[in-house]
Structure 1
Amino acid sequence: MTAFLEGDGLLHLREDMAVERMIFPNLPVADLRRSTEFYLGLGFKQSPQFSNEDCAAVIISDTIVVMLLHQEFFSGFLPEGDTPHLRAAGKEVVNCLSCDTREEVDTFLANAAQNGGAVFQPAREQMPGMYSGAATDPDGHVWEFMWMDPSIPE
């Protein structure tokens, strides 16, 4: 099964296509509207059929859908006694999204800053052929945007 976004803004699932793994990062958020607007401001689309007052499905690509879950709703998916850590001092994961060009890295970082996020690692050449920068969303979730030069030999 694979998923794809049509012009109608809906996420469509197809059984007749090659099986591709999908990833659905579930992120707890304090303000669902603010967080959704942040991701839409980065240029992503929302899937209305998988969004409601408790969650928003944000389509990053055909195989990546970020699920923004209001923190109380998110808590229902955790072991009893666990709570979501919004804006916690420690970070558990860095979400890294590949970009097609260096300019796309710069655009993502600029859009993050303009839509309620914070750039904490300006874009730079990490090593020859790898250009990246990182920002947090309004809830402190870390996103790295990275371009790798396809002409660098393996």
Structure 2
Amino acid sequence: MATTTDKVLNRKIVEKARKMKSYAYASDDPEISDFSHPSVINIADTVQVGISTGGSSPAMARKIKIKTESFLKKNISSEDIYQIKLQKFARIEAKQVLSTQLDRKKFLYGVMNDKRVKGLLKEGKYKMAQGRVKKMLRKLT
């Protein structure tokens, strides 16, 4: 990673990295970089959204991030965060007993759309929602 304020030095660092058969990145020179860094929005350590202009304008990526971040934080509820965590739990449980990806997919959508699960998550009763997942899974096996 070449992130100095000297463009010539950054290019030398990139050239050296390439000679070492490594990926290279110059913060001020997207044309010679092998990748770019998106501006990342992180919500509750659960949802990450990347905003990128492909290196064309990091300043605009930051501006768009700021505008988008407030929208996402207003529209992703605590219930959504709980549901994501519950889906992770349900996937792990389902992989132990449901042999096909299609069966697991149907099960996970069933969990996501289950009225009882939604009610428990709305009340912040995550552990009880996990119990509901286990009960739903037992009915399938």
**TM-score computed with the length of structure 1 as normaliser:** 0.22
Structure showing greater radius of gyration is 2
**TM-score computed with the length of structure 2 as normaliser:** 0.24
Q: Per residue, is there more helix in 1 or in 2?
A: 2
Using CA pairs below 8 Å that are at least 6 residues apart, which structure has the higher relative contact order? 1
